[in-house]
Structure formats: structure tokens, C-alpha cells
Chain A
């Protein structure tokens, strides 16, 4: 197997691990704020590693840049979405866990 194949594979599998951990946090953490702490961040890293891994695996620079553009858009959308969910929860009067 070529070097790009190995690096791409390692990055992709690592990304999937981050997604799994983020999902674990979503399932196991006690309230909406702690879940927001776990899931969007882990997903962002996981998606970034998968995009980069697939790009490296393809060996094409233009495809890699397109995948990274997808990642960039997702970064912005996830950050704003997570902030909006937290704001909506606060406005509804949901108190953070342990407070």
C-alpha cells in the first residue's frame, strides 16, 4: 500500500474515533450544555480528519481543497448552531447541570 493510502487511512480511522467519542458524550452527558460541550467539538475534529484523510487518500489536490471547504462550512455552521441551541435552552430556563 502506498504512503498516501496509509496516511489517509490513519487520518480517516482517527476521525471516526472522534465522531464515536462525540456521540458517546451526547448519549452519556447529563444535560444539554454538557452535551454541547462534547459533541460539536469532537465532530468538528472528526470531520476535519476524515476530510483530510479522504483528500490525502485520493491524491488529488483539488479534491482535498473541496473537502476542506466542506469542513470549513461545517465548522462555521456547527459553531453557530451550538451557540443557538445553548441560547434557546437558556431562554427556556433550563439550568446548567450542577448549578
Chain B
């Protein structure tokens, strides 16, 4: 890496700090949210510079895309007076507390980075990669060596949706808020592309950067686009309600596999070597579908009605 690379990294690092500061201290919630989305995109670029394309994909899709959409959607539902009152809170925040806390955190992180063993866990993972069933080390860690962590991540998403839906009905109106002929057209044209990219990322996960989380995020974003274009999901009620079990598909499949391999005399999540590749593909498929639906369900902001047409106004 020469001088231009170093200069680029320096600018990137400074821009990250600046957008992070803006996201917390901007003089308005809208600016804060936009700064946060820019921060996510720059963060993805930083991960690319660190040669971690898996995390870059996840950060761009989830950190900047889905989270940004969630924040913007929440912002749109605040009334302006409440928004202004929050602005005052943000401006009046006590810097005497945050500056030392930030410096302390930075020093702690620096110390931790200094003390970490130099090559990390890359070598042990590379040594065991042959027995994992996949060729991509990140997927091997996520769905084989540390599948337990992934199970918990999906469980957290599921808990989030359950908590959100239990709070009340979705605030989404039965028809789109902004009538535009272009948006349904965009949805129709792009949704197949969302499905294609998502399936490609899922399949690619076994041998290259990709996998269930980026695939699920892309698919979830496609669902959000359809929602904005006027499509209304059917996840509750008697007729279409059973579809909501797909929300739990990833967790159920992972737990099922984890216990099923135990009946064969293996440990919890200890796949038989000859079956590992297929089991991982199965879990990726289940987890990807479920993550897509979970992110989409979070975006609904509440339980969808059994029947959008005849529901009572919230």
C-alpha cells in the first residue's frame, strides 16, 4: 500500500469519526439519521479496505440500508413538535461526560487491539476448514464452528419482532401514503432482481463472501420496497396466518439440526463431516428466508391486521 492508499484511509477514518459525531450531535433528527446512513456506507468501505468483504456486505445491507430505512420510517411517524423537543435534548447534551467517556473507550479499544494475538484465529480456522463442509472461512465460522452464536443472533431478531408485534397493530395505512405511478413500477421491475441477487448471495456463501445475512437483508429490503409500493403482507389471521411460522423457520431449523446430530452420537451442533456441506446449505436457506421475513416484519412496526381492507383505523 503506497501513499495514495494511506491518504485514502486517513480521509476515510476522519470521515467516519465526523459522520459518527454528526449522527449523535447533529442539530436535527433528520440530519442525525442521514449521517448515520452515510456512516454505515463509509464503514462498509472501511471493511473493504480491511479486506473483509463479508462484513462490508452485511454492513452496507443491514447497517446502512435496513437500519437507515427503519430509522427514517420511525422519524416520519414522529410529529414535528416532538422532533423539535428531541433536538433540544440532543443539543443540550453534556459534553463534559461524553468526551472523557469517548476517550476512555478509545483507549480501551486501542489497548485491546494492542494485546490481541497477532494473527487472530485465522490459522486454527484455516487448519479445520477442510472438515467444515464449506470453502469460505467466514461461513465455516458462522454456521459450523460458531453456529451457536448465529442461532442466538437469529433468536434476537425473532424476539425483536415478537416484542414489536405485541406492542400493537402496525401503523402502516391500508394504501400507500404517497401515490406515485413510478413506485409500483419500480417494485415490479426490481423485485425479481432482489430475489435473484439474494439467491446468488446465498449460494455464493459456501465458497466466497455472501451467505444468509446479506442474502436475507437484500430480500428484506425488496420486501420493504414492495410495502412502500403498496403491497400489503398477510402474516396474521386464519387464512394466511400460518405464513408467520416462516419467521421462526431459521431458529427452528438450526435447533432441529443441532439436536438431530446429537441423536447420531455427535455433540450439539457437531455436524458429521460427510454431511456438513449439505447441512450448512440447508441452514443457510432456512436462516436466509427467515432473516428476510424478520427484517421485513420489523419494518412493519407492529402486528399486521388479519385483513387490511376492513380493519379498524388504529
Q: Which A positions have Cβ atoms within 8 angstroms of B?
A: 73, 76-77, 79-80, 83-84, 87-88, 91
Q: Which of B32-40, B98-106, B182-190 contacts A (4 or more CB under 8 A)?
A: B182-190
B193 / chain A contacts, CB cutoff of 8 Å? 73
Candidates A73, A76, A77, A84; contact of B178 at CB < 8 Å: A84
Contact with A along B188-220 (1 / 0, CB 8 A): 011001000000000000000000000000000
**Bound: A80/B181 CA distance, A:** 9
* B interface, over-half SS: helix
Closest 4 CB pairs of A and B: A80-B182, A80-B186, A83-B182, A87-B180
A76 touches B189 (CB 8 A): yes
**Bound: A76/B185 CA distance, A:** 10
Q: In the complex, how many angstroms separate the beta carbon of A80 from the nearest chain B beta carbon?
A: 5
A83 touches B180 (CB 8 A): yes
B182 / chain A contacts, CB cutoff of 8 Å? 79-80, 83-84
Which chain B residue has the least Cβ–Cβ distance from A83?
A: B182
B190 touches A84 (CB 8 A): no
Contact with A along B165-186 (1 / 0, CB 8 A): 0000000000000101011011
Candidates B178, B186, B189, B190; contact of A88 at CB < 8 Å: B178
**Residue contacts A-B, CB under 8 angstroms, 16 given:** A73-B190, A76-B186, A76-B189, A76-B190, A77-B186, A80-B180, A80-B182, A80-B183, A80-B185, A80-B186, A83-B180, A83-B182, A84-B182, A84-B183, A87-B178, A88-B178
**Bound: A65/B186 CA distance, A:** 22
Q: In the complex, how many angstroms separate the beta carbon of B283 from the nearest chain A beta carbon?
A: 29
B180 / chain A contacts, CB cutoff of 8 Å? 80, 83-84, 87
**Bound: A67/B193 CA distance, A:** 16
Q: Which residues of chain B from 230 to 271 have a CB within 8 Å of any chain A CB?
A: none
**Bound: A76/B191 CA distance, A:** 13
A91 / chain B contacts, CB cutoff of 8 Å? 178
**Bound: A6/B180 CA distance, A:** 43
Q: In the complex, how many angstroms separate the beta carbon of B112 from the nearest chain A beta carbon?
A: 37
**Bound: A92/B178 CA distance, A:** 11
Which chain A residue has the least Cβ–Cβ distance from B187?
A: A80
Q: In the complex, how many angstroms separate the beta carbon of B119 from the nearest chain A beta carbon?
A: 32
A80 / chain B contacts, CB cutoff of 8 Å? 180, 182-183, 185-186
